[in-house]
Amino acid sequence: MIRKAGPARLPRAALIIAGGSGSRLWPLSRAQRPKPLLTLDGKATLLAQTILRHQPLIPREHIFVIAPTALQPVFKPATHGLIPPTNLIFEPHARGTTVAIAYGIAQIARRLGDCVVAVAPADHYLTPPSAFRATLRGALSLAASQLAIVLVGIVPSSADVGYGYLKMGRPIRGGFEVERFVEKPNRPAAERMLAKGGFLWNAGIFVMHTEALARALKTHCPGLPEALDQISRMAPDKARARFSKLRFDSFDYAVLEKSRGLLAVPARFRWHDVGSWEGLWKATHRPDSNALQGSVLNLDTRGVIAHSPRRLMVLLGVEDLVAVDTGDTILIARRSRSEQVRKVVEELKRRGLRDYL
């Protein structure tokens, strides 16, 4: 039985997770220039776009960003003027999405009390922002009234095994109950779900009442809430050491796949997980066009992503390529194989070439 909240209106907040390394977008995405700080339009970063599209539905003062402590030097200037400086939360160590969500929302709850929090990645491409806010408004209302965790579902375009799948159940207040959640199924299972219908992709955007999260963590991640409470009262050195020992799977596996009583709302916006060069292409360009940034001369080319801010890059008679020159590295790859760029990062690590990571 789903219980309804007492307060008619709870504070709204947003927690934006900015910890992804983006290895499949190497060499633009690097250890000290993570994917959330990339720009698709030469203007605003993905992180800035994420912050801005939550407003004014969620006030600037209630928007928080969580990032690794090691990246303070890059995230502090990147969020300057976008959120209050005290709303930038740093994790002592990167420990995955379950710990990031639990730690971030614990920090928010200490300041706002019981509230409804929208959790979103900092590196997705969504459009238009007005449709995103309309979807989020419904999810916030549903989470507040039902004391629930609410997911955002995307109509699948293929049997992609990189996403979670949620089975649509009984309608409820502009959304629906989630009958089943399957994180990253194998291809035969994904194809069966697509053929059967009634399944949506998980967009990785969650809206939750703080009480609902507390219940879920107590049930599925025993020891985590208590550990975070202890860490909050420790001296910095001891807190970092204790934090480094936290071991929990991703939020999708550790909480969502095991939970009952999940709710969801269908997305009203276009959504792309900009996880690779091919993903970036699908999000922003037509098949017969090119995506060129910097000093690039193209002659008789099609379907090329090219980036060269310093030197002249000349493209002649080529198709479906990724060509990126960052000054210290050059990547040339077929777009269709761009998902495998992370293998380059793994090989650089194996060879000890950390200056290029």
**Whole-number CA gyration radius for the chain:** 21
Residue 146 identity: Q
Which whole number is the average pLDDT over 151-170? 91
Which whole number is the average pLDDT over 104-131? 93
Same domain (yes/no): 154, 293: no
Residue 5 has a pLDDT of 41
Residue 3 has a pLDDT of 42
- Give yes or no for residue 143 having a pLDDT over 60: yes
Which whole number is the average pLDDT over 57-84? 93
Residue 280 has a pLDDT of 78
Number of structural domains the chain divides into: 2
Per-residue pLDDT tens over the stretch 53-63 = 999 999 999 99
Q: Tell me, yes or no, whether 117 lies in a domain.
A: yes
Percent of the chain with pLDDT over 70: 95
Same domain (yes/no): 190, 109: yes
Asked if residues 98 and 248 have their Cβ atoms less than 8 Å apart, the reply is yes
- Give yes or no for residue 4 having a pLDDT over 70: no
Q: How far apart are CA 326 and CA 356, in angstroms?
A: 10
* Structural domain for 234, as ranges: 12-275
Q: pLDDT band at 338, cuts 50/70/90? A: confident
Same domain (yes/no): 95, 112: yes
Helix H segments across 245-318? 251-254, 277-284
Which whole number is the average pLDDT over 299-323? 91
Same domain (yes/no): 53, 94: yes
Residue 7 has a pLDDT of 47
Same domain (yes/no): 128, 193: yes
Residue 236 has a pLDDT of 85
Residue 160 identity: D
Could you say which DSSP state residue 184 is in? S
Per-residue pLDDT tens over the stretch 29-58 = 887 888 888 887 667 889 999 999 999 999
- Give yes or no for residue 12 having a pLDDT over 90: yes
Which whole number is the average pLDDT over 175-185? 92
Q: Tell me, yes or no, whether 261 lies in a domain.
A: yes
Q: How far apart are the first and last CA of the chain?
A: 49
Residue 9 has a pLDDT of 79
Same domain (yes/no): 59, 125: yes
Per-residue pLDDT tens over the stretch 193-217 = 999 999 999 999 999 999 999 999 9
- Give yes or no for residue 101 having a pLDDT over 70: yes
Q: pLDDT band at 2, cuts 50/70/90? A: very low
Residue 309 has a pLDDT of 87
Domain boundary among 220, 244, 275: 275
Same domain (yes/no): 214, 346: no
Which whole number is the average pLDDT over 337-353? 87
Give whichever of 11-15, 194-198, 228-232 has the largest mean pLDDT: 11-15
Q: For the chain, what is the mean pLDDT?
A: 89
Same domain (yes/no): 282, 262: no
Q: Tell me, yes or no, whether 79 lies in a domain.
A: yes
Same domain (yes/no): 90, 162: yes
User: Residue 15: enclosing H or E segment and its boundaries?
Assistant: strand 12-17
Which whole number is the average pLDDT over 226-245? 88
Domain boundary among 210, 242, 275: 275
User: Residue 208: enclosing H or E segment and its boundaries?
Assistant: strand 199-209
Residue 288 has a pLDDT of 66
Domain boundary among 251, 275, 299: 275
Q: pLDDT band at 286, cuts 50/70/90? A: low
Q: What is the CATH number of the domain that holds 156?
A: 3.90.550.10
Which whole number is the average pLDDT over 90-108? 91
Same domain (yes/no): 171, 83: yes
Same domain (yes/no): 150, 251: yes
Which residue carries 């800035």 as its tokens?
Answer: 48
Q: pLDDT band at 92, cuts 50/70/90? A: confident
143: Cβ–Cβ under 8 A, 6 or more apart, which residues? 116, 149, 150, 207, 208, 209, 212, 263
- Give yes or no for residue 77 having a pLDDT over 50: yes
Q: Tell me, yes or no, whether 4 lies in a domain.
A: no
Q: Tell me, yes or no, whether 3 lies in a domain.
A: no
Q: Tell me, yes or no, whether 25 lies in a domain.
A: yes
Q: Tell me, yes or no, whether 322 lies in a domain.
A: yes
